[in-house]
A and B are shown apart, each in its own frame.
Chain A
């Protein structure tokens, strides 16, 4: 203190050499901290572009025809596959799933010939019955009904055998949805497809680093290392300064 009698402390107006050094050190560290955390995310936000998945582009190409009932078999198939792609996703709300299930079930029936329709219908009804009574997924009846349904329906919808989509298909088929793709569910599907298949992407999200998408690595791994480094630097610098100035705390 230059003026001992004042006894005023202010971070921004240090009155001793030590306080000045500490203020500068704190400001440097906080600036690095703030830029690293918030600056990076503002940058991420600034350069991101809403990017559709290929399945959404395919959906957009066929949707108007599907909605108006003028779609060819290929278009219905594309629609069903893109809808199925969304149901296989990890975040999906119940209403959207219900509407997509309606679309997939209806599309399957549109694509099936009369013999296939009967077979699919029987297989779905059987599977629904087994699901209602099953106690374990290792139940033999359950496994057999599921395999049967996959076997019948995967080719109709144009899925390759043993694909991820084929394995989830039985859970999206419901007999109650076969006949009509309701306008209410069509509206939900139209809204939910871009919601689930458009993502904020940029060079920071598409670049891989140590296997991670770069931005993910930055937040989940690097920032934590940086925080420790900042804390370590502060302690070392403070101790060093105290030693140099013979300050005993």
Chain B
């Protein structure tokens, strides 16, 4: 692999260095330096995908169950660190201050639940996909099919935010319109996923993690050093930036520090940035708590995250891979608020104009006069983040389509080659649907992704939680719980979509506030769990063979 990639990089790098000066505009224009970096990275991904491509269905779904703890941790982190993490979190904090930290806390705190309640047990259960688990545990083909459809819906919902992020970065680099950016970016990520499958994806994810984290951290050191903050550890050093925004920076104090437009590094006192649920941001205490809670339980119910535990050899590896994964994820999550804080000061002057929030990470580096080549690497890192997640999601969706729907329900006699063809067909169909929805620009990247979390929290999470920890949860309870979770999800998403289309439904203000599309799981998940328990208690108990399996295999 090195023999192929290194000469390519050696050839491309000098060209990129010479061409890098193209990256100085905030909007519009083709930026050749970043474009070359992006193409180089994408070619490397595809080559790695080819070298480690799936040879059979076991490889495609679960990477041959041969990934180490740290390798799997890196893959979890890379899979997790999507456009929502790389671009979206800073955007949320840039747009709504302390409220954005609900996403940081929610997206990391969920791993504690995932680890202590599920990771080891999921691996011991020994299935390929989330729908596999649901179908087997609740001894129902229709639940398996429903689980597969939900997994596909979650993957689509999650992918929409990623495609929006890919589109945004392609737009910034190539200087073309958003629609074409989404189409081009979507085509590239689809090609790559089709070539590689999960084995290639898992190997790639480890490489992608390195690219993502390096590209994200370098500008932070430069920004903190340049603007005279504690640069040795920017994740701590930016604390003074937050305080400076809160209490203001007088122009006379820092007249020598300027942004790329020549504006002083000055700002009027803006406590609304750091104070909790500030009225100025339009966000409330309830929303902060509901978002954090929904994202946490959503994390423990996402099919593509759960699926990562099937690729490690043992249950203890599954547990340790969560610890490693969370650590790798936190490296980025500690850093994202730094971009929003610097972005706030550097764009405070009215002359900077209104910036796209979702691209604020890249704009902050540009406004901070970071070298264009490094800004290009940062943008390429953003694309990598989206790529790594999308490929995992497409594999999870394709697995649900081929393995859970086609093989287990429609055609159990299908040959392995036909299964693989169906998986690839599922991938293409999903990519087309996602591209079309992403073009609508329904919300911020992180908000679009948060919908997937709430959906997972209301549907998959209760089934896994009760399925693993209570043998009394039976098929009827699972169906009832799923109906309840699905109903709450449908209600919330209907109000959200209606609102976007300008249709005012009855009680829309109440529903949009208490059942917001980004956090409806706060009530949907507890209701689904409660329904599952009540109905299970009232109906025939789980068959002995399932209970025996739970005791002897899962909790042994």
Contacts and interface: CB of A to CB of B under 8 A. Distances in A.
Interface in A14-36: 19, 25-26, 29-30, 33
Interface string B106-149: 00110111011100100010000000000000000000000000
A53 B272 CA distance: 11
A175 interface: no
Given A48-B276, A162-B251, A162-B255, A9 B112 contact: no
Contacts of A238: 120, 316, 319
Given A10-B469, A227-B111, A211 B239 contact: yes
A231 B323 contact: yes
A205 to B, nearest CB: 6
A228 B111 CA distance: 9
Contacts of B115: 231, 234-235
Contact of B277 (A163, A200, A216): A200
Interface string A1-14: 10000011111000
B517 to A, nearest CB: 22
B276 A44 contact: yes
A45 interface: yes
B351 A137 contact: yes
A8 B547 contact: yes
B314 A220 contact: no
Contacts of B556: 249
Given A9-B469, A165-B268, A219-B104, A91 B280 contact: yes
A152 interface: no
Contacts of B293: 38
B289 A41 contact: yes
A147 interface: no
Interface in B317-348: 319-320, 322-323, 326-327, 330, 333-334, 337, 344, 348
Contact of B108 (A48, A198, A224, A232): A224
A93 to B, nearest CB: 9
Contact of B101 (A33, A92, A219): A219
A88 interface: yes
Contacts of A1: 551
Contacts of B252: 162-163
Contacts of B278: 91, 199-200
A90 interface: yes
B555 A19 contact: yes
Contact of A9 (B263, B277, B555): B555
A85 B280 CA distance: 14
Interface in A44-64: 44-45, 48, 53
A156 interface: no
Interface in A131-190: 137-138, 162-165, 167-168, 171
B320 to A, nearest CB: 6
B112 A230 contact: yes
A244 to B, nearest CB: 14
Given A7-B547, A91-B272, A238-B316, A164 B470 contact: no
A41 B334 CA distance: 19
B432 interface: no
A125 B98 CA distance: 39
Interface string A221-249: 10111011011101100110010000001
Contacts of A129: none
A227 B330 contact: yes
Nearest to A84: B268
Contact of A223 (B109, B235, B547, B555): B109
A1 B551 CA distance: 9
Interface in B228-248: 230, 235-237, 239-240, 242-243, 245-246, 248
A11 B266 contact: no
A25 B555 CA distance: 15
Contacts of B97: 91
A199 to B, nearest CB: 4
Nearest to B229: A211
Given A19-B555, A213-B243, A29 B323 contact: no
B275 interface: yes
Contacts of B275: 199-201, 205, 213
B8 interface: no
A168 B268 CA distance: 10
Interface in B87-114: 96-98, 101, 104-105, 108-109, 111-113
B236 A210 contact: yes
Interface in A82-127: 85, 88-92
Contacts of A232: 323
Interface in B444-495: 469-472
Interface residues of B, number: 86
B349 interface: yes
A53 B316 contact: no
Q: Which of A10, A220, A234, A238 has the most CB of B within 10 A?
A: A220
Interface string B538-556: 0000001001101100011
Of A9, A85, A167, most buried by chain B (CB within 10 Å of CB) is A9
A210 B243 CA distance: 10
Nearest to B352: A137
Contact of A195 (B108, B109, B280, B344): B280
B548 A90 contact: no
Nearest to A23: B469
B316 A239 contact: yes
A211 B334 contact: no
Contact of A234 (B239, B280, B319, B471): B319
Contacts of B58: none
Contact of B271 (A44, A53, A165): A53
A242 B278 CA distance: 48
Interface string B242-273: 11011011111001000001111011111111
B279 A198 contact: yes
Contacts of A26: 116-117
Interface in B185-242: 230, 235-237, 239-240, 242
A231 B112 contact: yes
Given A168-B350, A234-B116, A220 B268 contact: no
B292 interface: yes
A164 B251 CA distance: 6
A104 B237 CA distance: 37
A154 to B, nearest CB: 12
Interface in B504-556: 544, 547-548, 550-551, 555-556
Interface string B49-66: 000000000000000000
A78 interface: no
A37 interface: yes
Nearest to B277: A200
Contacts of A25: 116
B315 interface: yes
A196 B548 CA distance: 61
A55 B406 CA distance: 66
A9 B470 contact: yes
Given A163-B250, A227-B326, A232-B323, 4 more contacts: A230-B112, A230-B116, A235-B115, A238-B319
10 contacts: A7-B544, A9-B550, A29-B112, A92-B280, A163-B251, A167-B264, A211-B230, A221-B235, A239-B316, A249-B556
